[in-house]
Amino acid sequence: QVQLVESGGGLVQPGGSLRLSCAASGSIFKIYAMAWYRRAPGKQRELVAGITSGGSTNYGDSVRDRFTISRGNAKNTVYLQMNSLKPEDTAVYYCNADQPTGQSWGQGTQVTVSS
């Protein structure tokens, strides 16, 4: 399995932007897809965005048209560009990698949207 390290979280005002990064290391030779999930206080974990090895993307309904997932050139890094942030986007954001051996998770990065 891979090791995933997220970065880029922080405090931002409503309407602002943040860019999250996730770097994968270890057994990265076969990753089917990578994704971002989030968990807000008192809520279940939800899919934010995903990207396959072929570059196909999908988004949660609440972030579509505001967030963009992409991969770095080395394909072991995935980014989440978050624009027009809302207070309801406040959550811990987790990076996920899907491989034949199972799924791997990062430790998460806190995103807080508040004035």
Give percent of the chain with pLDDT exceeding 70.
100
Nearest alpha carbon to residue 78 among 91, 64, 86, 67: 67
Q: Average pLDDT, whole number, for the chain?
A: 94
Q: How far apart are alpha carbons 62 and 84 in whole angstroms?
A: 12
Confidence class for position 76, pLDDT limits 50, 70, 90 = confident
In 79-93, which positions are buried (b, 16+ CB within 10 angstroms) versus exposed (e)?
bbebeebeeebbbbb
Provide the pairing of β-strand 109-113 with 46-52: unpaired
The yes-or-no verdict on residue 75 having pLDDT over 80 is no
The pLDDT of residue 6: 96
Read off the pLDDT of each residue in 27-40 and give the average, rounded to a whole number.
89
pLDDT of 109 reads 97
